[in-house]
A and B are shown apart, each in its own frame.
Chain A
Amino acid sequence: MSRELTYAQAIQEALAQAMEADPNVFLMGEDIGVYGGAFQVTGDLVHRFGEDRVMDAPISELGQAGVAVGAALAGCKPVLEFQFSDFATLAMEQIVNQAAKLRFMLGGKVNVPLVMRFPAGSGTGAAAQHSQSIDAWLAHVPGLKVIQPSTPHDMKGMLLAAIDDPDPVMVFEHKLLYKTKGEVPEEAYRVPIGKAHVARNGKHVTVVATSIMVHKSLEAAETLAAEGIDVEVIDLRTLRPMDTATIIESVKKTSRLACVYEGVKTLGIGAEISARIAESEAFDYLDAPILRLGGAESPIPYNPQLEKAAVPQVPGIIEGLRNLVTGRT
């Protein structure tokens, strides 16, 4: 049975099903108990599972991340909610030096089966320290897996896969997606980590998009379809490990590549995708330079017009893709 859920509800359902299935799974974070989470993702889970499994923690991001690592080493499966992905910067030591490296450093003798959830992205007027997209930072670290589901369906299935995973999985959730709706099966299903999804088939240009930019790219594609430009949209879904094969196949078909993402453009995920195509057999198929549409070289501003200007928007994506396909600059 499938029914419509919001992205936030899909997360909550995955968390509940994971906790029902495995007593080792527990949630930790700031204000995730009776408050229900800053974005109401955990909602009333504390009433269903109790305070021991939906744990409100002190405002100690570094400490919480370390507690998650230690609990994971000792047999638990912690799912840690950061109130904003920006606060990962407070916990980088534990994420990058400990969670990501312990298995490797100890010669494969341990696993660190934890999940960290990061509400990310701009568009809420929360300004520079509550709106960043730092997914590519963490995707740079071997030992971490980084996912960015864009639909309620993928969110539930990938979160359940993340909780099953024996390695640390970082989940980036765009805040503007929380209220978006989609069909979600009731049962506990898995969507594999590391597999991209072709969200729209097309033949003139390949767009590799992440998170909310998948929806913006699909919207742009509809407009361009009316002009006879047929856009293929790939939802990358996982930043690390990246599904390069799906992108290569698509570019060989369309001969054009655009990368659309909210994180800062320079040294972002678009650079990596472009490089992988440049290094692959798809390079010979390219009929045009690769286009990157990423976040501005600035922090996220407060003013709503500036805030919109700081990340790719549908009109800009339409223009960029149109120029890419028609050869105009």
Chain B
Amino acid sequence: MKTPKTAKANARPFYQKHSAAELKEALRKMYLIRRFEEGAEEAYMRGLIHGTMHLSIGQEASAVGSTMALRNTDYITSTHRGHGHCIGKGADPKLMFAEFFGKEEGYCRGRGGSMHIADVATGNLGANGIVGGGLPIAVGAALAIKKQKRDDVAMCFFGDGASNEGAFHEALNMASVWKLPVVFVCENNKYGMSVSTERSMSVKNVADRAPAYGMPAVIVDGNSIADVAEAIEAATEHARKGGGPTLVECKTYRTRGHSRSDRNRYRTKEEIEDWKARDPIPHFEAELIAHGLASADEVTAIRVAAEAEIAAGIEFARLGTDPDPTEVTRDVYSPEAA
């Protein structure tokens, strides 16, 4: 359909800056993340995959709104709740499923699983099983960018819980002292496993910690992709131009538990329902339709296509190759130089 110019002109900068195609691609990625995680959860329930996983259902706007500002040569470091960041940065869900299923076709050849998924080719330096583990790594990647005189950035995803780790404070200080191109993206989903930010932090916001390191910080509605993307795009441009790091705090919520073992004893049904009503996907769809950037039919087609891609991805993974148990020590070290 034709985009009525007037509708878009009244819209906020996010809807003016991006083409309808870019915005629909963002919606497609949000659906891919949602359906990927629902598919992974179902496969786990059916006993097709083992281990554990940390679902980010409800946090898709921050993952996609952040990564849409990036290019392939930019880096991200991700977290244990990192499926969204991975898809946002451009990973193929079927290769992620193959990793979940522990197959050779997976991104990590079945050695990493959910907590270590990384598509290195798209600049993803890895999800991380250690809370705060990726923070100094992102600073190091940004240091390399600066040394190599590139205008890329390192985007560092972390949660509210990680901001209580020493690594957070050391990383922010170093990035600021050396004015490195890092965009720190805090996905504050209110809980470090079961302990709320109110019980674990002496300040209200993670962003309140940035001034201690001379770093600008912004707080956004993490369930609004427009809110996230506008702040991230500004922070990213600032970093590319040599302005140094910024912290963007996305206030969001995971509607699922921390991991498979979570019985939700630390929060109320009302709180969960309240946040489910603020689901970022329908919110984004409504804005796209209101601004005349997509029709209801197009939105439905995007969702159906995402569902089909996920179903095909699970089937691909199910039929993948199991690693050879005699190769357990493969890739511990690099091959001997010739």
Q: Are A73 and B147 in contact (CB under 8 A)?
A: no
- Asked whether, in the complex, the Cβ of B109 is within 8 Å of the Cβ of A107, the reply is yes
Contact check, A107 vs B112: say whether CB atoms are below 8 A apart.
yes
Report whether A104 and B331 are in contact in the complex, using a CB–CB cutoff of 8 Å. yes
The reply to whether the CB of A76 lies closer than 8 angstroms to some CB of chain B is yes
Contact check, A58 vs B167: say whether CB atoms are below 8 A apart.
Answer: no
Considering the complex, which residues of chain A in the window 35-59 have a beta carbon less than 8 Å from any beta carbon of chain B? 52, 57-58
A1 to chain B, nearest CB (A): 27
Asked if A97 meets B107 with Cβ closer than 8 Å, knowing A70-B139, A106-B112, the reply is no
Interface pair B140/A68, CB less than 8 Å apart: yes
What B residues does A110 contact at CB under 8 A? 118, 120, 125
Given that A66-B171, A105-B108 are known contacts, is A73 also in contact with B331, CB under 8 Å in the complex? no
Asked if B145 lies at the interface with its beta carbon under 8 angstroms from chain A, I say yes
Q: Across the interface, do A26 and B118 meet the contact criterion of CB distance under 8 Å? A: no
Determine whether B280 belongs to the interface, using a CB cutoff of 8 Å to chain A. Answer: no
* Residues B177 and A58 in contact, CB atoms below 8 Å apart: yes
Interface: B333 (CB within 8 A): yes
Q: Which of B126, B174, B333 has the most CB of A within 10 A?
A: B333
Contact A74 B167 (CB under 8 A): no
Whether, in the assembled complex, A271 has its beta carbon less than 8 Å from a beta carbon of chain B, the answer is: no
Task: Say whether B111 contacts A104, CB under 8 Å.
Answer: yes
B147: chain A residues within 8 A (beta carbon)? 26, 52, 71, 76
With an 8 A cutoff between CB atoms, is A109 at the interface? yes
Question: Do residues A70 and B136 form an inter-chain contact, with CB atoms below 8 A?
Answer: yes
- How far does the alpha carbon of A103 sit from the alpha carbon of B333 in the complex, in Å? 7
Does B277 have its Cβ within 8 Å of any Cβ on chain A? no
A270 within 8 A of B: no
Per-position binary interface string of chain A over residues 88-116, scored 1 when its CB falls under 8 Å from any chain B CB and 0 otherwise:
00000110011000111111111100000
Q: Select one of A74, A98, A106 contacting B130, CB under 8 A.
A: A98
Knowing A104-B332, A108-B330, the reply to whether A74 touches B141 (Cβ < 8 A) is yes
Q: Report the separation of the CA atoms of residues A65 and B140 in the bound assembly, to the nearest whole angstrom.
A: 9
Minimum C-beta distance from A26 to chain B (A):
7
User: Contact at A60–B332, with CB atoms within 8 Å?
Assistant: no
Using an 8 Å CB-CB cutoff, how does the interface string of A136-170 with B read, 1 for contact, 0 for none? 00000011010000000000000000001011000
| Number of residues from A at the complex interface, CB < 8 A | 41
Task: Name which residue of chain A comes closest to B119, CB basis.
Answer: A109
Q: Which single member of B145, B148, B170, B330 contacts A62 (CB below 8 Å)?
A: B170
If A102-B126, A106-B112, A106-B126 touch, whether A72 touches B140 (CB-CB below 8 Å) is: yes
Q: Are A143 and B333 in contact (CB-based, < 8 A)?
A: yes
Residue of B nearest to A67 (CB): B140
Chain B residues whose C-beta falls within 8 Å of the C-beta of A71 in the assembled complex: 140-141, 143-144, 147
Known pairs A107-B106, A107-B109; A97 contacts B133 (CB<8 A): yes
Contact (A107, B75) CB under 8 Å given A58-B177, A62-B170, A66-B140: no
- Counting CB contacts under 8 A, is B39 at the interface? no
Cβ of A311 under 8 Å from chain B? no
Residue of A62, A70, A111 touching B143 (CB-CB under 8 A): A70
The answer to whether A63 has its CB under 8 Å from any CB of chain B is: yes
Q: Knowing A103-B334, A142-B329, A167-B333, say if A62 contacts B137 (CB, 8 Å).
A: no
Which chain B residues border A62 with CB–CB below 8 Å? 136, 166-167, 170
A216-243 with Cβ < 8 A to chain B? none
Tell me the minimal C-beta distance from A306 to chain B in angstroms.
Answer: 33
Known: A58-B170, A109-B120. A74 touches B140 (CB 8 A): yes
Q: Beyond A74-B75, A106-B118, A142-B332, is A63–B109 a contact (Cβ under 8 Å)?
A: no
Pick the contact of B110: A65, A93, A102, A107 (CB < 8 A). A107
Which of A57, A69, A142, A166 contacts B137 (CB under 8 A)?
Answer: A69
- The closest CB in chain A to the CB of B130 belongs to A97
Q: Which residues of B contact A98 (CB under 8 A)?
A: 128, 130, 133, 137
Query: Complex: how many Å from CA A103 to CA B144?
Result: 19
A315 within 8 A of B: no
A103 near B332 (CB under 8 angstroms)? yes
List residues of B (94-120) whose CB comes within 8 Å of A's CBs. 106-112, 116, 118, 120
Given pairs A74-B140, A93-B133, A107-B106, 18 additional interface contacts (CB within 8 A): A58-B170, A60-B170, A62-B170, A63-B167, A66-B136, A69-B140, A70-B139, A71-B140, A73-B137, A74-B145, A74-B148, A93-B167, A97-B133, A98-B128, A98-B137, A103-B333, A105-B108, A166-B334
List of 7 A-B pairs having minimum Cβ-Cβ separation, nearest first: A70-B140, A66-B136, A63-B170, A108-B331, A74-B144, A107-B109, A107-B108
A-B contact pairs, 23 of them (CB 8 A): A63-B136, A64-B174, A66-B135, A66-B136, A66-B137, A67-B136, A67-B140, A71-B141, A71-B144, A74-B75, A74-B125, A93-B133, A93-B167, A94-B136, A97-B129, A97-B130, A98-B137, A106-B108, A107-B111, A108-B330, A110-B118, A164-B337, A166-B334
Q: A residues engaging B (CB < 8 A)?
A: 26, 52, 57-58, 60, 62-76, 78, 93-94, 97-98, 102-111, 142-143, 145, 164, 166-167
